[in-house]
Amino acid sequence: MFFTFQLIGFLLLATIVASIVQKKTGRGFLPSSILKVLNLPANIAISVVAIFAILSPGLLFYADYGTNYYLISPFGREYAIMDARGIKWRMFSRIIPWTKYIDIKTVKTNSGTGEIIEDTSELEGYIEGGVPIRFVDQVIGEAKFATRFQLPSDEESFVILAKKFRTLTNLVNNTLIPTLEEQAKNTGYMFSAQDYISGAAQEFKQTFEEQLKGGSYQVRKSVIKDTIFNDITDQSSRSIKEIQTTYIVNKVTHPSTGIPIRIPHEITDNGVLVSQVIVQDVELEPKFKERLEKQRDESAKRQLAQQETETAKAEQLKILAMGENEKASERVTREREQITMVIQHETQKEIEKQKLEKAKIALETAEVEAKATRLRADAEAYKNQKLVSAGLTPQERAQIQKEIAIGVAAELKNVQLPTYYISSGAGGDKNGLSLLETLLGIKLMDGTTVTSK
């Protein structure tokens, strides 16, 4: 872009020179209208613009996003531009660009030719194949990882880093990659291959990242050997089956604070930040893999034998359990029958008791009612006796006869007499009563007969 400005500046400057020459000699190719415009003030202004355009590559530069710039002025001043993208002043200073983020990873290579088979155009650095490491149990492996680093974010630390290494390539090849390889080897020394394949892969990655960010751990290794003897078949036979070796790696801590002691390295000393660590894989040596396969097969055989033994024991226990279950079921059936008989007996017994209670209650009720009846009869007899012995007064006798007459009249009212009747003669019967009067004779309660006159 600035070279285009520079070309325009040369063209403007050439046009001014041509106009001056044409005005003095009368020869030239510029039209008269342009010559009129290109007077002295216009020539001075255009000359200034042309000179600025010609010098623009040395005065300005375009800053890309994600890049820091280390600048050295003609007078020896060193400074940095760490802002976002855009046009920046350089004032003829020397510019050294530094990428803010540095990606370094292990890349795959052809096993036969050793040629790199991955794209490395977007990487600032790479390690071919992987980093060879040795675990604490002397098993060899090859670590493969991808890392990202970030340059210091403050201008002062960045200027110190840029002065020390001058170029990004020096920082990557002379510091970052060697430190990565060193810390990968140190991390491998803190683990055994058996632990790594048994579930310590995540802890391996975490330890590797911690050592890159804060420095190497100071460690102390311990070796424990455990002797395992064969099973004793008789009193005289006892031999060593194997000797198991266990490696324990402990971090050395500060005696007063208990914090692990760290050993700084070039990454931490130069203020470079570790922003990402990914451990892709650790390939173990073929011999260890073969040994693992043998252990796996032996373990599978032992597990199969143990499963068969457990199955046989389970079958035996199942048979015993089924027998006990049948015994328990039969015992429960017998007990249920006994309980049923007892319940029936108790129920019949309760029924008989209830019947007996009801009979007793009925007998007592009858006795009470008989006594009550006898008492009422005795009371009535006693009353009548007293009334007879006492005799009736004329008023009581008249009252009784009145009630009897009223009752007889009420009954005669409801008597239906025949419509026709036959008389034997005009004189009636021998007592001088007509047939109607005879029919109306009524026997009263005291033996008197009421007749019509």
Which pLDDT tens digit goes with each residue over 404-453? 778 767 766 665 655 554 555 544 454 544 555 555 554 444 444 444 43
**Phi, psi dihedrals of residue 428, rounded to the nearest 5°:** 80, -160
Of 130-144, 175-189, 304-318, give the lowest mean pLDDT range. Answer: 304-318
d(CA 67, CA 102): 11
- pLDDT band at 399; cut points 50, 70, 90: confident
Helix (H, G, I), strand (E, B) or coil at 348: helix
pLDDT at 43: 72
More confident residue, 245 or 363: 363
The number of angstroms, rounded, from the C-alpha of 1 to the middle of its chain's C-alpha atoms is: 57
DSSP string, 205-251: HHHHHHHHHH-EEPEEEEEEEEEEEPPP-SSS---EEEEEEEEEEEE
pLDDT at 180: 93
Which residue stretches of 28-105 are H helix?
A: 32-37, 40-59
pLDDT at 294: 76
Per-residue pLDDT reduced to its tens digit, 39-51: 777 777 877 877 7
**Burial classification of residue 109, based on how many CB atoms lie within 10 Å of its CB (0-12 exposed, 13-18 middle, 19 or more buried):** middle
* CATH match for 101-231+239-284 among 3.30.479.30, 3.20.20.70, 3.30.70.100, 3.40.50.1220: 3.30.479.30
Query: What is the pairing mode between strands 240-251 and 125-128?
Result: unpaired
pLDDT at 174 over 70: yes
8-29 mean pLDDT: 73
d(CA 205, CA 144): 11
Helix (H) or strand (E) holding 291: helix 286-390
Structure tokens at 67: 């890049």
Is the pTM higher than 0.75? The answer reads no
More confident residue, 9 or 406: 406
Mean pLDDT in the chain?
A: 79
- pLDDT band at 185; cut points 50, 70, 90: very high
Per-residue pLDDT reduced to its tens digit, 311-336: 888 888 888 888 888 888 888 888 88
